[in-house]
């Protein structure tokens, strides 16, 4: 499978933004992908809570495309959290 171009990755981010799932800027999402700061996780609605430890330990070895896919999926899960 061919690697996605940066334009395609940015398009994927914008789709998430259009659906109102994330209001963060494209640059902010890319920064999170490149530098997730795992230890800065918050308790509620934080995408980093939805990435398991094994993936976190491999993060720097994953391609940008893979990290973005994981991040966007985790953002979706975090947005669906319901707390009583």
Write the pLDDT tens digit of every residue in 30-64. 888 889 999 998 888 889 999 999 999 999 999 88
Query: Degrees (nearest 5) of the Cα angle 11, 7, 57?
Result: 80
Question: How many Cβ atoms sit within 10 Å of the Cβ of residue 15?
Answer: 11
Q: What is the mean pLDDT of residues 5-11?
A: 72
Q: What is the DSSP letter of 44?
A: S
Answer whether residue 19 shows pLDDT above 60: no
Distances (CA, A) of 13 to 29, 40, 57, 58, 82: 8, 22, 24, 22, 23
- Evaluate if pTM is beyond 0.85: no
Enumerate residues 6+ apart whose C-beta is below 8 A from 49: 41, 43, 74, 78
């Amino acid at each position: 499978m061919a690697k996605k171009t940066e334009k395609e990755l940015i398009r994927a981010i914008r789709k998430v933004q259009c659906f109102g799932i994330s209001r963060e800027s494209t640059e902010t999402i890319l920064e999170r992908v490149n530098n997730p700061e795992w230890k800065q996780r918050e308790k509620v609605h934080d995408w980093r809570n939805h990435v398991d430890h094994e993936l976190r330990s491999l993060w720097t070895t994953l391609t940008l495309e893979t990290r973005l896919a994981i991040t966007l999926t985790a953002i979706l899960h975090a947005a669906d959290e319901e707390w009583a």
